[in-house]
Amino acid sequence: MQTLPEPEVFGCYFDDGFSPHLAAMRLRWPDGLVRADGAGWSLPGNLCLHALPNAFGLRIQRWDEDAYATCLLWGATRVCWQGLTRAELLASALGPVLAALGSDLRYYLDQPVEREITRFLEAS
């Protein structure tokens, strides 16, 4: 897992491309880190992005023992997944980005199961 330096957070807002709106932040990464070397930043669903996010927001809701509804804002990319596994999330670039922001992906994944899932809609 790649270790990233802490980005500058220079704004927080609610992204209205999701329903409900997603808490997000504007980020500025140290010079030279915006573009990924080689393969890029791997995300679930075989999604690969080649730049670190200048806007970032994440909502993960655990709705079964190994199933997570996830909404992600990564730059201009908005995506929602209805049933990711723990392994898919841990294998993604979300861990290093969250760690650079002072958070831990495992914290999100260890939340209690919520049988009534919040309605996650595709990003508009």
pLDDT tens digit sequence for 81-118:
999 999 999 999 999 999 999 999 999 999 988 766 56
Q: How confident is the model at residue 18 (pLDDT cuts 50, 70, 90)?
A: very high
> Has residue 36 got a pLDDT over 70?
no
**Model confidence pLDDT, tens digit, residues 71-84:** 999 999 999 999 99
Domain spans of the chain, in order of start: 8-109
pLDDT tens, position by position, 49-76: 989 999 999 999 999 999 999 999 999 9
Cα–Cα separations (whole angstroms), residue 73 to 8, 51, 89, 116: 17, 13, 15, 23
Q: ω before 96 within 30° of 0 (cis)?
A: no
Top pLDDT among 16 and 34 is at 16
Look-up of token digits 């999100």: 108
